[in-house]
């Protein structure tokens, strides 16, 4: 993320980007927590700041007083080693500190960080890079959580001004081609050079069986056909737990979809818009992605398969939600998908576990990834909301299989 | 509430009072809903306005467009006859309309109301008086809900600046005297003259057995002794449902009480303060009030008994929370309690049902009181947060027996 | 219940009756608990026996060992003063003692009781009478709980052989007449002479306003019309809590009713049978009874009104469920309803509270009634399943307003 | 399971074994369902019979009427393709068919099966073998579920007569040795020859990194030390979801453990017994197994590692619960663990997913395994309650990570 520019410049860029994302918001929009898994915007702003204060500033200056000692309780996300914390479902109950105070907190920590970054120790540099990647993760979460909160409001406020008129573009998606890969013992995981999270290593060998991967992710057209084919009402398409979730939560279409007068619309950060056939399907749970794959006579790829295919794929990203679609040759001349980043995260069939030889780091930062290796599935790629400099071929995102509020779709695979 | 001044003046006074109550707040404080039974301040501001718009303006001018048609969905509390509405537990998810927009809504409705009140029809006048009483109820609820939300924040924000130092005043409460009343067939309910809610009538006769009533409500000193006597751990003091609530919710002291270094403190609108022995006990559920009475070898009064005693009692009120105490002669020369209003609401032993001959009015406003006559207990009197002009001897407040966030205490009775 | 025959004979009669009620059962039928509010038959058999052992035998012989010391934990219902106990929802998890052992327990306690009853002290006699009334209550509960359990089984086992063919009798109910009563100061509560529970006294005066009472309870015909009139879908007919219960629990007809090919059937102890228009409606919650009354432009009677009317009504009872109907003159010549007992319990509009001057007895038996005086409504009369000798004009049955598995209907009143 | 004897003989043996397991039971013991994940013994007896009736008899004779058409609803476990079914948590509500009727059902199906097995088609033979393996699975489940139900009863009934006196044997477990394996591309999955479930194939290659495996499973001694070291109170030992489960469910020791006067006891099928240090630890959830491994500075093995080590290990089993321990050389001369079967199931670190190329079979039997490949972890080996002929090196058992009522322990691994 930080290659090719100084750390101080990277710090300024990332921190400013977070605040730019908040420019369209009113104070009220910062406070709300629309479900236990989401967090208020205000909390994201403060938590990312607390991360620098706790893991960089306090480490570098043991005698420096924190901005406010109470913030460690309020803005610690899940680090048991750092102390007690506010239970996650209560983050939306906290009116104070006010938004203005949180911005003062950011400014205060930014000043101290900039002083430190004028001559950083290697530990400071390493932790700062981690903190910036952490903040980039929260930039995306800020948007997913905000979208969920806005969607709860029957007034349907919009984050960005609407771009589309009421009429659908009506374009069909490109036909799927299958990019094929032979069986091989392959090297996987982060190869070194630049930042990566601990869970992207150790680099290791794995035997990857022959497979084919679809040239593009599932499009809304396929989801619509699945719907029309009764897919949401046919248990044979679903995992047992998936069917139970569908029943318990009453799913009958992807999250944010609504039928109006026989046409499908969905709520976007730019307001209600027609569901475009050609766009990558989004806001799918793992269960829905898996059901779509079964229904289509295919399956989801493992993350080893996905990473194998991604090695030759360009890292591009940062689109508007309404531009979640780029046509392109189905497989490149070299036989790879032309695009695997920057539209939607792609659910893989791989449960999230550590790679062979993985050990979490010592100390509080060992809690960053390791303790979540259970009951989640890996997503690969990156969405339109993922900062472009945050995309990486070895990146392992992960969510529980019933999570739908992320910008997550799927790509099919076959043996 | 409106005696002695013009309706237009009353309107201005009450509406202004609501906004004055919000003067100490930040925008963030308006948005939060800390539990399903509470509402955000913003919602109180808008709902009371919607009440005038829906039941006065729209009735008077059938063709007048509402300020925003969506507000009927957002700010209808529970009137089925007026249409669908936002489920109560979701009121805290609504970031828009912003606080500023809600104030514009208030101003818009106030303008129209003032025009209408320059020559009101009798229906307009009657509905306006109802709306003002309704808004006064919400003035108190706004404070109870705000106190609950502030108490959820570990930073413990305060609504008003602290008045007390850390030291307790150490005053003991006045000893209880018993004011006695003979058995008699008595007239109860609102006698006419001035506003009353429908549930305060019909005026009717009831045979009230001989009883004695305590000269003052239970004080914190008695609650402390109950605590020290193990009252919260002795099922024989409690109703069966009360004991179940105490177990399920982990009650070990009144709401907002905290023990620090062997001393009891409680959260108030003016911040953390020592629990003063002489103050009226507050934030009790019915179950706790009943248990305290059993433990004391007494009982709670029926509402008939309470109203009998209150007939000669002065209507005074509006105190600071920290002044929830007025000494005074235990019974007046005429044998009545000297004070029954303006400190805490007093739980009675009477389940909330209609009086003999009670019928809810026709139409949506019939939903104001009648449909709640089940699973609640009547409270009488009025708290420091009740507007003084809203106090009334026939007033019937009501809450479920496990509600603790109201400004509610109790007064003992004996046969 | 015991008038006109010796206590020893009454003991034998009641105890034998309980076991006769179990004659049609298989061992498996004794074990199941179909919901937390119900108990297994085996538990009823053992609990009623434990009652005699604990409150009679152990009192009379302090040194006598209990049959099995563990039974005090298993078969104590709710007496905190007697020690810890198995949580009610877990009663259906207990395979041992076996049914055969429970019958041995009964025989053991019966032997000891018979010895004691050959020359009972006054305390023994008083406690025995209480125990027999207690067992009679459980005889009815045994049937209500068994019916609920059988109804959970899609095989629909029957307790008694079916009496009816598939065809409805098609009789219409007798038209309702209104029996009128003037306002008066009246004496209410148990007048002495024979057994009564503590909650039926003290006898006391109350001013009862003028009212009329329907000559018969609501019949299935009226429930059907309510249904056809959309009553289950019209919130304006319902209390607010009633509507919430109806929504949460999906009520669309009384418990055990099923529509088949456009006709209403219901599950009875004698199997599935057509809903007979002329029969008293049964398995109504308070909320449904109240909604039916509102819809009919009437209301439920208070228990004072009900008792006033019942004073001249004969105590008759014990019918088959399929004979829940006796025609008869709508009001007697003296102006009273001709039948108020022995078909269905009748919900009154009165929340269950103590009468003026009521105090629970000291000791564990004080828990029999007093601690439940909250969140319940009084039912009067008695059902076909109530033992005839258990019917009483001052009898106060009580259940929460959402309880539907009791044999409970309603009778209308008017001002 | 059926090698070396005729299919008809195998049928008789397995079916008889199920009924022998029930010999110590009373009728009451067959009925109870102690939690939603468990089933009543009666249900196990009937469901295994329904399996033969539905998937063998009905397939072989399309015109043959089922024993009772209602049984398809009652005793279908989870096959959506076979129709609607009784929700699992309601299995304990069903008093009928009685136990005697269920035995008649078994006898009826056994007769028909024996006729069919005198000259079975290949489909019949194949399905019968599946049905017998299915019944063997339920033999173990019957004991796990029965143990859970008995443990719910404060009387602590026992399934088998107690074998141990009150005194612990006091033996220490054998010291752990580490059996080492080099990195290699290995073949995994069922190699053909004899029965295997679909999920044990396809046989495939996987690259298995170098690892060491403990010579024996974790013993109670290690669990006790973990306990004494505060392991149940130290979040850093646990996965995040594991810690949440431990908090929510209040775990402070393995299931069935109880501390009495400073000594640990546990409930067994032979009654309460001292926890023997030398025995394999049992009734651990995956979360506890994982926490124990972290605390011990090790990890759980993957199923590839486990299967690699098991290839040379003898298949022995069927012990009493009290003999869950066999000493032995820590690694065999060939460097393998000497015992990996027949004491406790061993949690692996592998989430349950399909092997490369796995596809569920067509039709209802495709629901046997495939739809559960989500949110579970694989267990390998087999417990004392697993029929000896059911043990297999490629066998994949699976349960959710919070399941504790299975006979499940763990074995450590290291890189």
Which member of B31, B74, B157 has the closest CB to residue A32? Answer: B31
Whole-angstrom Cα distance, residue B300 to residue D250? 39
Residue indicated by tokens 């209301």: C299
pLDDT single digits (tens) A88-143: 999 999 999 999 999 999 999 999 999 999 999 999 999 999 999 999 999 999 99
* Chain D residue with minimum CA distance to A183: D205
The residues, ordered by sequence, that sit 6+ positions from A6 with a Cβ below 8 Å of its Cβ are none
For position A324, what pLDDT does the model report?
A: 53
Whole-angstrom Cα distance, residue B188 to residue C185? 16
Say what percent of chain D tops pLDDT 90.
80
Residue indicated by tokens 């995306």: A140
For position A317, what pLDDT does the model report?
A: 61
For position D334, what pLDDT does the model report?
A: 73
For residue D294 the two structure tokens come to 């972290």
Sign of the alpha-carbon dihedral angle for D108, D113, D116, D117: negative
For residue D319, is pLDDT > 70?
no
Which member of B207, B357, B371 has the closest CB to residue C206? Answer: B207
- Check whether the bond before C202 is cis (ω within 30° of 0): yes
**Please, are residues A270 and A278 in contact by the beta-carbon 8 Å criterion?**
no
In this complex, do B32 and A29 lie within 8 Å of one another by their Cβ atoms? no
Dihedral-angle region of residue C281 (phi above 0 means left; psi in -120 to 50 means alpha; beta otherwise): beta
Chain C contact set for B293 (CB, 8 A): none
Q: How far is A112 from chain B (nearest CA, A)?
A: 24
Torsion of CA C88, C93, C99, C103, to 10 degrees: -30
For position D64, what pLDDT does the model report?
A: 82
Which member of A205, A240, A356 has the closest CB to residue D371? Answer: A240
For position B192, what pLDDT does the model report?
A: 82
Mean pLDDT, residues D267-277 taken together: 93
DSSP secondary structure letter of residue D251: -
Confidence label for B3 from pLDDT (cuts 50, 70 and 90): very low
For residue B312, is pLDDT > 50?
yes
Whole-angstrom Cα distance, residue B279 to residue B281? 6
Q: Are strands D408-410 and D345-351 parallel, antiparallel or unpaired?
A: parallel
Q: Does B230 touch chain C (CB under 8 A)?
A: no
CB atoms within 10 A of CB A229: 12
For position B164, what pLDDT does the model report?
A: 62
For residue A371 the two structure tokens come to 């303790």
In this complex, do D374 and A242 lie within 8 Å of one another by their Cβ atoms? yes
Whole-angstrom Cα distance, residue D205 to residue A119? 51
Angle (nearest 5°) at CA C338 between C334 and C339: 150
In this complex, do C31 and D26 lie within 8 Å of one another by their Cβ atoms? no
φ, ψ of residue B59 to 5 degrees: the values are -70, -40
* Chain D residue with minimum CA distance to C29: D95
Q: Does C247 touch chain B (CB under 8 A)?
A: no
For the residues of D172-235, what is the DSSP string, one character each?
A: PPPPP-EEEE--EEEEES--SSS---GGG-S-EEEEE--EEEESS--BHHHHHHHHHTTGGG-G
Which member of D205, D240, D351 has the closest CB to residue A351? Answer: D351
Higher pLDDT, B222 or A337: B222
Q: Does B154 touch chain A (CB under 8 A)?
A: yes
* Chain D residue with minimum CA distance to C71: D155
Confidence label for A312 from pLDDT (cuts 50, 70 and 90): confident
Higher pLDDT, D247 or A316: D247
ipTM confidence score:
0.95
The sheet carrying B211-214 orders its strands as: B178-181, B211-214, B413-414
For position C314, what pLDDT does the model report?
A: 80
**Which H/E stretch holds residue B267?**
strand B263-268
* Chain C residue with minimum CA distance to D152: C93
Identify the residue among C351, C354, C359, C362 best suited for mutation to test binding to B, counting B beta carbons within 10 A and taking the highest: C351
For residue D46 the two structure tokens come to 């009937």
Per-residue pLDDT of chain C (415 residues; tens, 9 = 90+): 544 469 999 999 999 999 999 999 999 999 999 999 999 999 999 999 999 999 999 988 888 899 999 999 999 998 998 889 999 999 999 999 999 999 999 999 999 999 999 999 999 999 999 999 999 999 999 999 999 999 999 999 999 988 766 677 788 888 999 999 999 999 999 998 899 999 999 999 999 999 999 999 999 999 999 999 999 999 999 999 999 999 999 999 999 999 999 999 999 999 999 999 999 999 999 999 999 999 999 999 999 999 999 987 888 765 556 555 554 645 677 778 888 998 999 999 999 999 999 999 888 898 888 899 999 999 999 999 999 999 999 999 999 999 999 999 999 999 9
pLDDT single digits (tens) D148-179: 999 999 999 999 988 766 677 788 888 999 99
For position A162, what pLDDT does the model report?
A: 82
Query: Which residues 350-369 of C are in CB contact (within 8 Å) with B?
Result: 350-351, 353, 356-357
Identify the residue among C182, C375, C402, C414 best suited for mutation to test binding to B, counting B beta carbons within 10 A and taking the highest: C375
Mean pLDDT, residues D395-409 taken together: 98
φ, ψ of residue B381 to 5 degrees: the values are 100, -110
DSSP secondary structure letter of residue C362: S
Average pLDDT, chain B: 92
Mean pLDDT, residues B289-314 taken together: 95
**Touching, A vs C (3+ Cβ pairs under 8 A):** no
For residue B317, is pLDDT > 70?
no
Chain B contact set for A29 (CB, 8 A): 95-96
Q: Does C373 touch chain B (CB under 8 A)?
A: yes
pTM, two decimal places: 0.95
φ, ψ of residue D389 to 5 degrees: the values are -75, -5
Whole-angstrom Cα distance, residue B149 to residue B145? 6
φ, ψ of residue A199 to 5 degrees: the values are -75, -5
For position D183, what pLDDT does the model report?
A: 97
Q: How far is C199 from chain B (nearest CA, A)?
A: 15
Chain A contact set for B149 (CB, 8 A): 93, 95
Higher pLDDT, B65 or D287: D287
CB atoms within 10 A of CB C167: 7
Confidence label for A3 from pLDDT (cuts 50, 70 and 90): very low
Chain A contact set for D209 (CB, 8 A): 204-205, 356-357
For position C204, what pLDDT does the model report?
A: 98
**Please, are residues C128 and C117 in contact by the beta-carbon 8 Å criterion?**
yes
In this complex, do D28 and C26 lie within 8 Å of one another by their Cβ atoms? no
φ, ψ of residue B204 to 5 degrees: the values are -155, 165
Q: Does B374 touch chain C (CB under 8 A)?
A: yes
Query: SS in 3 state form for C46-87?
Result: HHHHHHHHHHHHHHHCCCCCCCCCCHHHHHCCCCHHHCCCCC
Q: Does A75 touch chain D (CB under 8 A)?
A: no
In this complex, do B74 and A155 lie within 8 Å of one another by their Cβ atoms? yes
pLDDT single digits (tens) B43-76: 999 999 999 999 999 988 888 899 999 999 999 9
Say what percent of chain D tops pLDDT 70.
94
For residue C353 the two structure tokens come to 């509270």
For position A4, what pLDDT does the model report?
A: 44
Confidence label for A318 from pLDDT (cuts 50, 70 and 90): low
């Amino acid at each position: 993320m930080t290659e090719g520019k100084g750390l101080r410049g990277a710090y300024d860029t990332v921190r400013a980007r977070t605040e730019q994302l908040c420019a369209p918001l009113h104070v009220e929009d910062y406070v709300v927590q629309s479900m236990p898994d989401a967090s208020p915007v205000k909390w994201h702003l403060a938590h990312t700041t607390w991360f620098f204060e706790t893991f960089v500033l306090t480490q570098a200056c043991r005698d420096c007083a924190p901005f406010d000692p109470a913030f460690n309780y309020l803005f610690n996300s899940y680090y048991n080693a750092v102390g007690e914390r506010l239970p996650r479902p209560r983050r939306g109950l906290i009116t104070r500190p006010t938004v203005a105070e949180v911005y003062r907190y950011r400014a205060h920590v930014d000043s101290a960080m900039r002083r430190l970054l004028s001559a950083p120790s290697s530990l400071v540099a390493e932790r700062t890079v981690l903190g910036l990647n952490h903040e980039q993760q929260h930039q995306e979460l800020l948007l997913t959580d905000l979208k969920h909160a806005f969607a709860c409001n029957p007034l349907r406020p919009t984050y960005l001004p609407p771009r589309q008129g009421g009429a659908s573009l009506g374009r069909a998606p490109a036909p799927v081609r299958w990019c094929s890969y032979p069986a091989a013992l392959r090297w996987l995981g982060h190869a070194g050079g630049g930042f990566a999270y601990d869970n992207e290593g150790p680099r290791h060998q794995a035997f990857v069986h022959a497979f084919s991967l679809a040239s593009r992710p599932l499009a809304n057209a396929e989801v619509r056909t699945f719907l029309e084919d009764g897919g949401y009402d046919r248990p044979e398409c679903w995992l047992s737990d998936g069917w139970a979730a569908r029943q318990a939560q009453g799913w009958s279409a992807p999250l944010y979809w609504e039928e109006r007068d026989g046409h499908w619309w969905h709520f976007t950060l730019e307001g209600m818009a027609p569901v475009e056939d050609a766009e990558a399907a989004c806001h799918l749970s793992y269960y829905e992605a898996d059901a779509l794959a079964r229904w289509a006579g295919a399956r989801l790829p493992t993350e080893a398969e996905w990473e194998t295919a991604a090695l030759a794929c360009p890292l591009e990203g940062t689109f508007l939600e309404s531009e979640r679609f780029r046509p392109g040759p189905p497989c490149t001349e070299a036989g790879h998908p032309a695009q695997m980043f920057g539209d939607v995260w792609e659910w893989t069939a791989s449960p999230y576990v550590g790679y062979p030889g993985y050990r979490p780091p010592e100390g509080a930062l060992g809690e960053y990834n390791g303790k979540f290796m259970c009951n989640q599935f890996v997503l690969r790629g990156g969405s339109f909301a993922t900062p472009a400099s945050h995309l990486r071929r070895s990146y392992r995102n992960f969510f529980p299989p019933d999570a739908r509020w992320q910008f997550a779709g799927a790509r099919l695979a076959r043996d």
